[in-house]
């Protein structure tokens, strides 16, 4: 038996815990987290599988995309899709100027094609010079996190509401520490590459909205969920405040109405503010031996996904699990060699 502690209960933490639980023989899994469910960034995010991370090398992101898509598609195609909040959705990425290079995720989603001239003329009054029509998957955190938590607990996992302030505070009875603390890694592991990215969005009732719309250059988006529609958004680098601003709400609503005028008839539900875990360099997914309190401990890191935590969470969880299995095998070999 190997005792594994995962720090963090957002999409990345839960995915990593479940993936390790299912893949590592004898894994005894525990999650420590300060925030759960509605208090996590993953809960409030739109959650659409449409990752656009900046500057991640192709050979790094494609395995994450492939594993995440395969996993989410299997849920959507099963009888668990509606319970888990994973279901197909289609819509538009729109650009006021020239069309960009298509992102890597286009090779995994159901459908990805350039908009026709007629679509741009009739639907969007020639406001955009280029766009793409995309069929992908929605992963609603509000349903997905409780569903994934149930999976974890059902397979013997344990969860405790504990804020971990330092890896040095973790009991030595745990054989492996897995850090999925997101923004908390700035303090937890002194990662100065981490920085907060504040995002504010609004939920409205607008049952007639069936497609998603992204004005990519203006960071404006409209994403229909199962019970409401997400209007966004903002991307304020360096701001860690979680207080909603009414003026920001009006600005976002105005931009969304310019994109889809019928939203003027929408009913306001609530505002939400979340802090995305930005990182100056790529997300940190690695495993190794670290010296903590003068003792060598096996530590895995999986954090720094910025705005793509939900979309990439299962893919990075798979990689983190593979790295841990390699590390465990290496340590076993060392012990056997000494014997």
Give the DSSP per-residue string, 10-25.
Answer: SHHHHHHHHHHHHHST
The H or E element spanning position 323 is helix 309-338
Length of the chain: 339
Q: Strands 295-303, 284-292: parallel, antiparallel or unpaired by DSSP?
A: antiparallel
- Tokens 């192709």 sit on residue: 58
- Tokens 């992908």 sit on residue: 136
Q: Where is the binding site, in residues?
A: 41-42, 164, 221, 276
Say how far apart CA 173 and CA 266 lie, in whole Å: 53
Residues pairing with 112 in the sheet: 134
Q: Where is the binding site for FAD, in residues?
A: 41-42, 164
Tokens of 331: 């340590």
Tell me which DSSP letter residue 266 carries: P
Q: Where is the binding site for D-dopa, in residues?
A: 221, 276
Strands (E), 26-120: 27-33, 86-95, 111-114
Q: Residue 239: phi, psi to the nearest 5?
A: -100, 120
């Amino acid at each position: 038996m190997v005792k594994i502690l995962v720090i963090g209960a957002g999409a990345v933490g839960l995915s990593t815990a479940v993936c390790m639980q299912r893949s590592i023989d004898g894994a005894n899994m525990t999650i420590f987290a300060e925030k759960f469910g509605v208090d996590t960034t993953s809960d409030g995010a739109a959650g659409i599988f449409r990752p656009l991370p900046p500057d991640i090398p192709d050979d790094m992101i494609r395995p994450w995309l492939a594993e995440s898509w395969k996993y989410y598609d299997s849920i959507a195609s099963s009888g668990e899709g509606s319970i888990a909040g994973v279901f197909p959705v289609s819509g538009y990425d729109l650009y006021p100027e020239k069309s960009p290079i298509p992102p890597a995720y286009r090779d995994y989603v159901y459908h990805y094609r350039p908009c026709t001239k007629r679509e741009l003329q009739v639907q969007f009054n020639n406001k955009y010079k280029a766009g793409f029509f995309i069929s992908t998957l929605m992963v609603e955190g509000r349903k997905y996190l409780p569903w994934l938590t149930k999976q974890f607990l059902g397979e013997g996992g344990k969860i405790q509401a504990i804020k971990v302030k330092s890896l040095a505070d973790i009991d030595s009875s745990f054989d492996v520490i897995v850090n999925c603390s997101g923004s908390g890694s700035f303090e937890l592991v002194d990662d100065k590459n981490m920085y907060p990215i504040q995002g504010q969005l609004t939920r409205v009732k607008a049952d007639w909205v069936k497609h998603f719309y992204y004005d990519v250059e203006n960071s404006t988006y409209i994403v229909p969920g199962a019970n409401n529609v997400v209007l966004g958004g903002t991307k304020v680098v360096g701001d860690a405040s979680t207080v909603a601003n009414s003026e920001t709400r009006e600005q976002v609503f105005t931009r969304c109405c310019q994109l889809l005028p019928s939203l003027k008839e929408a009913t306001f539900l609530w505002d939400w503010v979340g802090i995305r875990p930005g990182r100056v360099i790529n997300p940190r997914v690695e495993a190794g031996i670290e010296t903590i309190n003068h003792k060598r401990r096996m530590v895995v890191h999986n954090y720094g996904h910025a705005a793509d935590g939900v979309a990439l969470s299962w893919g990075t969880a798979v990689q983190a699990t593979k790295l841990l299995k390699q590390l465990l095998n290496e340590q076993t070999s060392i012990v056997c060699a000494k014997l």
